[in-house]
């Protein structure tokens, strides 16, 4: 089982200052939403797939255009279709389109980590498949969202390089921006009250601006585990709710420090985070990478259009989430080499 390195590490470093850029639109803050279905609810039936259309295929000068198939259509990728149907199946029941509150509370993200098997001593799971695979049965498996210090540094360098590249005047594509935050999370058990069940609330305090305090109750809706044997990491797609809650009066059960750099690009945000536990000062920090939709509304609005048979970009948006997490995992060997080179004498 891969564990976090015992070597002391530094928190993620921000990229060098970039020229002033127009401010990015911020995601709406979460608000209360209806109770979700259990995390292990039966997978909903997918909607009928939309008709495929011919996709433009790059041609070599002097060569005839290569059509996508004998039918001149390109089939929808089944992996993307499965993730899209799974996401909509769980999000549709949250009544996101009936109130602003539900959609603001909805979080859709993919975390990088390792799938370990308790039946094999906690080592990484091994399955007879050659490429990434969605698991429909994860009995006995555990997802560990962590990486080594060197992997964390390598991702930090890779993402910083994207910020620097996007800041160049000649850069013509969508900008990449970053924000560096240091926060303290405290976790509280809220007793049952007036028929309400016992709840767990997380209170987050900004360490630079003590006036920034907010509390949420996080509820897991569903997880999809993806085994990726060709890569150093597996990953997990999750749907959850972060519903605003009053700040509890009770003492915290435990706490954690988060040192995070967030890289935003169009609909998505990549968070690189170092987490340490004040109550366990000798324990090494953990390191996490996750990709999330900055706001769920644009995605779910496109999904609703697809359900109505209207022109939409739902699959393209889901593909964007998959592209971000896949390219992060595939870039690791490349950026690890760059990180080692920077440390060489």
- Report residue 227 as tokens: 């085994």
CB distance 211 to 204 below 8 Å: no
Per-residue pLDDT of 38-52, as tens digits, reads 444 444 444 444 444
Q: What are the residue boundaries of the structural domains of the chain, listed by start?
A: 78-343
Is the pLDDT score of 137 beyond 80?
yes
What percent of the chain clears pLDDT 90, i.e. is strictly above it? 68
Q: How confident is the model at residue 59 (pLDDT cuts 50, 70, 90)?
A: low
**pTM of the predicted protein model:** 0.79
Per-residue pLDDT of 162-190, as tens digits, reads 999 999 999 999 999 999 999 999 999 98
Q: How confident is the model at residue 11 (pLDDT cuts 50, 70, 90)?
A: low
What was the pLDDT predicted at 343? Answer: 44
Written out in words, the top-level CATH class of the domain with range 78-343 is: alpha beta
Is the pLDDT score of 279 beyond 60?
yes
What was the pLDDT predicted at 12? Answer: 64
Tally the residues of the chain.
345
Compute the mean pLDDT over every residue in the chain, rounded to the nearest whole number: 84
Whole-angstrom Cα distance, residue 24 to residue 295? Answer: 13
């Amino acid at each position: 089982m891969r564990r976090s390195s015992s070597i002391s590490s530094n928190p993620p470093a921000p990229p060098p200052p970039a020229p002033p850029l127009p401010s990015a639109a911020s995601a709406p803050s979460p608000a209360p939403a209806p109770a979700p279905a259990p995390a292990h609810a039966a997978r909903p039936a997918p909607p009928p797939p939309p008709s495929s259309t011919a996709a433009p295929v790059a041609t070599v000068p002097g060569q005839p255009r290569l059509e996508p198939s004998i039918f001149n259509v390109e089939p929808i990728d089944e992996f993307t279709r499965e993730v899209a149907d799974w996401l909509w199946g769980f999000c549709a029941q949250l009544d996101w389109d009936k109130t602003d509150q539900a959609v603001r509370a909805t979080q859709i993200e993919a975390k990088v980590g390792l799938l370990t098997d308790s039946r094999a001593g906690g080592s990484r799971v091994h399955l007879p498949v050659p490429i990434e695979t969605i698991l429909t049965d994860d009995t006995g498996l555990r997802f560990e969202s962590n990486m080594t210090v060197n992997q964390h540094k390598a991702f930090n360098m890779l993402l910083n390089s994207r910020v620097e590249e996007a800041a160049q005047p000649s850069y013509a594509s969508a900008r990449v921006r970053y924000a560096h935050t240091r926060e303290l999370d405290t976790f509280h058990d809220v007793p049952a009250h007036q028929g309400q069940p016992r709840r767990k609330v997380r209170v987050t305090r900004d360490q630079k601006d003590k006036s920034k305090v907010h509390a949420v109750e996080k509820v897991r809706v569903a997880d999809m585990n993806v085994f990726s044997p060709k890569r150093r990491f597996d990953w997990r797609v999750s749907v959850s709710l972060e519903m605003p809650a009053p700040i509890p009066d009770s003492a915290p059960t435990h706490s954690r420090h988060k040192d995070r750099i967030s890289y935003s690009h169009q609909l998505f945000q990549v968070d690189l985070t170092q987490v340490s536990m004040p109550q366990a000062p000798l324990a090494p920090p953990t390191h996490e990478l996750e990709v999330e939709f900055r706001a769920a509304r644009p995605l779910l609005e496109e999904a609703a259009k697809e359900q109505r048979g209207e022109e939409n970009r739902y699959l393209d948006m889901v593909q964007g989430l998959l592209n971000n997490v896949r390219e992060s995992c595939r870039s690791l060997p490349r950026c690890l080499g760059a990180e080692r080179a920077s440390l060489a004498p």
